[in-house]
Amino acid sequence: MSKFEFVTVAEGIAREAGSLLHRFYDKGVTTEYKGDVDLVTEADRASEKLIREKLKAAFPTHGIYGEEGTREQLESEYRWYVDPLDGTTNFAHGFPSFCVILGLERRPAGLAADADGEMVAGVVFDPLRHESFVAERGKGAWLNGKRVHVSTTKTLAESLTATGFPSRKRHGSPNVHFYQEITLRSHGVRRAGSAGLDLAYVACGRLDGFWEFNLNPWDTSAGVLLVEEAGGTVTHFDGGKFTMDSREVLATNGLILGEISHLFTEMFAGRELTPIPTPQEFRELREAARS
């Protein structure tokens, strides 16, 4: 079976899972916690069950690595990374931003267990907007059958970017500082709660960049391929090579990569931090803006 057929089958499965999620979303779902504050719903589990069954029927020799616990045949040449519902917190609160993610990695025989293979196919499906983002290695990135490309925005000052925050231990995450600095230096930062959609939006030019700490392979698998096939870059914060086990991801249109990675390097070194104004300074700034 060709990689193109992998994409075609995976897109069909993602659409089925998306339809299932849409039905749950319309009627409301029961939620529970995995860990302290990580939400999981019956929809997450039902979607992963559907995806697992469909993938095993279509590709019985492939491995599956799913967010909700599926771990099967991980020694196989091909491995699917599955996020059955990316944006669970949004979903549980009725906020309309979530998706299904399927990413396919090829791991040739003899590859070390801790080494990356090559992402060869990916799908991000948004069931509420009926938008299907697909990519095949070497064949480009597509949205509902139309080829997409990253934006041509040249500077951070002109850019619209996105990020995300952890659902737990937010006080220990440095990202609020990065959020502040990028907000002050750009057209704005969006925080919509779905890394899969954020990466897809970089690929199609709706966003110029996206960064986040502590994502998992099922979050990034398809989106990384989408961005790369759309002409963008996916790296560490310092511009270094991204790997599936990376705890940081920086996706850009390529044109603003140098500016953002330089800023991040300076911030990690304790430089380029903008002080928060005091209440009096804020009042003075507000009055100056009015005059």
Q: Is 20 annotated as a binding residue?
A: no
Strands 71-72 and 99-106: unpaired
* Beta carbons of 65 and 93 less than 8 angstroms apart: no
* Sequence-separated (6 or more) residues with CB below 8 Å from residue 62: 55, 56, 73, 76, 78, 79, 80, 104
- CA 156, 148, 21, 35: dihedral to nearest 10 degrees? -40
H/E stretch holding 266 reads: helix 257-268
Nearest to 159 by CA among 270, 251, 285, 274: 251
Reduced to 3 states, what is the DSSP secondary structure of residue 80?
A: strand
* Beta carbons of 198 and 207 less than 8 angstroms apart: yes
Structure tokens at 218: 């099922």
Q: Is 219 annotated as a binding residue?
A: yes
Paired residues of 184 in beta bridges: none
Q: Is 136 annotated as a binding residue?
A: no
Q: Per-residue b/e over 172-195, b at no fewer than 16 CB within 10 Å?
A: ebebeebbebbeebbeebbebbbb
Q: Is 48 annotated as a binding residue?
A: no
Which residue is it, tokens 């990376």?
A: 246
Query: CB atoms < 10 A from the CB of 106, how many?
Result: 17
* Sequence-separated (6 or more) residues with CB below 8 Å from residue 205: 148, 149, 150, 151, 152, 230, 253
Q: Is 181 annotated as a binding residue?
A: no
Binding positions for Mg(2+) are 67, 83, 85-86, 219
Binding positions are 67, 83, 85-86, 219
